[in-house]
Structure 1
Amino acid sequence: MTIDQTSLDERTNLTSSNKFELLLFRLGCVSAGDPHELYGINVFKVREILTMPAVTPIAGAAPYMLGAVDIRGQIIPVIDLPHLMGCTPERGLNILLVTEFARSTQAFAVEEVDDIVRLEWNQVLSAEGAAGGSLVTSIARIDGNTGDSRLAQVIDVEQVLRDVFPAQHPNVDPDSVGDALGSLGQAQIIAADDSGFARKLIEEALTAIGAKYTMTKTGEEAWQVVQKIAQDAQSQRVNIRDRIALVLTDLEMPEMDGFMLTRQIKGDERLRDIPVLIHSSLTGAANEAHVRNAGANGYVAKFAPGELADAIRRAIAA
């Protein structure tokens, strides 16, 4: 099954109402007899869903790697997602999820696909500190915000790639980001990202260019921080740009996504002059066009520290 263009257009339009679609799948059980819990990934990251083809083992491959597959002439690494998540696929590895995000293509072997559900981001809560550890970024309430809703663990795919291919995702080298920002006075950068791994890299990059910043985990948290600073600036009769130099936001986040955060900022006359820079693993022309429609001042794909630093400089200067 491929993700066709009509469906892509419909899913892109969902972002105007703080909604998205989540692909639900199962990885097996943690212990014998345990239920096969639901996991999820944003449909935007999924290129196609295949019955498991023959996988060629690769000598010296990274841990949690099954090998590689040839899909229409493209060699794609296959990650054993149940193994990585500590699950046993009792019914076998039957499905291959081919994904595209963070400038790369990779496939996840899973036990089975369950469904595609349409959710509001306020049905998704941060899993920070939850039992899922660093590989689960949030928990989705599939049946609405009720106490008896089914739950799905949303995979932190950026952390997965770091764990499987650590050499390809090193810490930020300060020499890679170029010159430090000029003096911003008391102004700071407000950053939002729900992935712990992504936050770590963003903090390293912002530190390397000498920026003061406040890091948040969701769009809603960032919005509350921005509003508080705006209220203080207004009471002190200070220009908001003297307090907030830029908002740097991911797109996929619990509670409020980056599209909605951008619209909230650009729709508030106190805040609309603040540059908003989208920093996302979701790539493609459709997403970039929607970023512009939301009013953002720029877009940069994760994660290239030098490109991020350059985009920050351009947005602040403009």
Structure 2
Amino acid sequence: MKSVQQEIDERTNLTGSNKFELLLFTLGTSANSDRAELFGINVFKIREIVAMPEITSVAGAPPNMLGVVNLRGQIISVIDLPAIAGCTPKTGLNIILVTEFARSTQAFAVESVEDIARLDWGQVLSAESSAAGGMVTSIARLDGDTDHTRLVQVLDVESILRNMMPSDEAEVNPDTLGPQITLKPGTVILAADDSVVARALIEQGLDAMGAPYIMTKTGREAWDQLQSLASAAEAEGKTIHDKIALVLTDLEMPEMDGFTLTRNIKQDTRFKAIPVVIHSSLTGSANEDHVKSVGADAYVAKFVAEELAATLRKVLAQ
């Protein structure tokens, strides 16, 4: 039997090979199909899986908020995930997934938990060009590139949570960000994030800081952009440092994750001096330790604009 720590270490080490684990679950059937489709959340975001406990309704709660549960002394909000996804559970809401990410704890009610799948990020494609809405960030092919592979919709739980419980205050306030960021003339920040909501917030923050940027949607797209800029710099008799001041990357991304992107940058003699800041909702000491092991210059948890600004200034000053 593996110990809990062994399992944690094994999962953390997957990030070194562009792999991750996805918890698979069902929400019921939709109006367009009688089949219960598979959905997924990164295992790193799951704190625990619990049989449906007694839920206390809360007066004035937002739509699709079932109420709260008392779990070992912690009061946790429970979100009706099938209702948000437009699904109807055949057997009811039987399980809650207690999640921790982006500095918050919440539970998502689902119909059933099916499995944990170990995948390469190369098996995951962005969902933005598909018919999927903003709540699905990517589509995972469970069986690789086979013609009849099973597909899993990877949920953008950060966007779901933000849409359900929007902040009353502006998330990017130029008056509280501090002094503008000054980059070397002609250089930009290269940013990568697969979430529509996260990209919008990052863009607002960088605009407010006065920092020019190039925004990409995956680690692979950022890596290709870096190669292209390096070629352009060489043709102009310059180096990549005349084009890129810093790389800001998410961790969870289709095709190539942020760990792999960072390692590729730091192992390439052309790019290794470029500062890399990882900006992720995957918090916790295990992830932060691994960030250091792949050579990132800093880690900042999503999303507090003031903390992002302070981190960028600190790294650029170094």
Question: Is the TM value for this pair above 0.5?
Answer: yes
Q: Where does residue 109 of structure 1 map in the other structure? A: 109
Is the partner of 1:113 in helix, strand or coil?
Answer: strand
CA distance in 2 between counterparts of 1:262 and 1:108 reads 32
User: What CA distance in whole angstroms lies between the structure 1 residues aligned with 2:166 and 2:141?
Assistant: 31
Unpaired runs of 5+ in structure 1?
Answer: none
Does structure 1 retain, via aligned residues, the 8 Å contact 2:23–2:117? yes
Cα pair 2:31 2:86 within 8 Å, conserved: no
Aligned to 1:286: 286
Q: Is the 8 A contact 1:95 1:110 kept in 2?
A: yes
CA distance 1:33–1:256, change in 2 (3 Å): closer
Equivalent residue letter for 1:174: P
What's the TM-score, normalizing by structure 1? Answer: 0.97
Matched letter for residue 194 of structure 1: D
State how 1:110-189 maps to structure 2 within 5 Å. 110-167=110-167, 170-189=170-189
Q: What is the SS of the residue equivalent to 2:230?
A: helix
The alignment of Structure 1 onto Structure 2 pairs a total of residues equal to: 316
- CA distance in structure 2 between the aligned counterparts of 1:121 and 1:168, rounded to whole angstroms: 35
Shift in alpha-carbon separation, 1:95–1:207, aligned structure 2, 3 A? same
Query: Structure 1, residues 66-111: CA drift from partner, whole Å, max 9, x if none?
Result: 0001110000110110011111112100011000000000000000
Matching of residue 28 in structure 1 with residue 28 in structure 2: yes
Q: 1:13-52 maps to which residues of 2 (within 5 A)?
A: 13-31=13-31, 34-52=34-52
Match of 2:196 in 1: 196
Q: Is the 8 A contact 2:136 2:153 kept in 1?
A: yes
Task: State the percentage of identical aligned residues.
Answer: 60
Distance (Å, rounded) in 1 between the aligned partners of 2:216 and 2:33: 38
C-alpha distance 169-80 of structure 1, shift in aligned 2 (>3 A): farther
Q: Give the corresponding residue for 2:248.
A: 248
SS of residue matched to 1:34 = coil
- Please state if 1:265 is matched with 2:226: no
Q: Which runs of 5+ in 2 are unaligned?
A: none
**Deviation at 1:6?**
2.4
Q: CA deviation at 1:169?
A: 7.7
Q: 1:310 and 1:260 mapped to 2: Cα distance?
A: 25
Q: Is the 8 A contact 1:281 1:301 kept in 2?
A: yes
* Structure 1 counterpart of 2:301: 301
8 Å CA contact 1:300, 1:307 repeated in 2: yes
1:205-226 Cα shifts (integer Å, max 9, x gaps): 0000001101000000000001
Where does residue 11 of structure 2 map in the other structure? 11
Determine if contact 1:162/1:168 at 8 Å carries over to the other structure. no
1:248 & 1:161 partners in 2: Cα distance? 23
**Which range moved further: 24-33 or 5-14?**
24-33
Q: 1:229 to 1:21 in 2, by over 3 A?
A: same
1:145/1:32 Cα in 2 relative to 1: closer, same or farther (>3 Å)?
closer
> 1:284/1:138 Cα in 2 relative to 1: closer, same or farther (>3 Å)?
same
Q: Identify if the C-alpha distance between structure 1 residues 234 and 169 changes in structure 2 by more than 3 Å, giving closer, same or farther.
A: farther
Distance in 2 (CA, whole Å) between partners of 1:224 and 1:142 is 25
Q: TM-score, normalised by structure 2?
A: 0.97
Query: In 2, distance between residues paired with 1:242 and 1:128?
Result: 32
Equivalent position of 1:205 in the other structure: 205
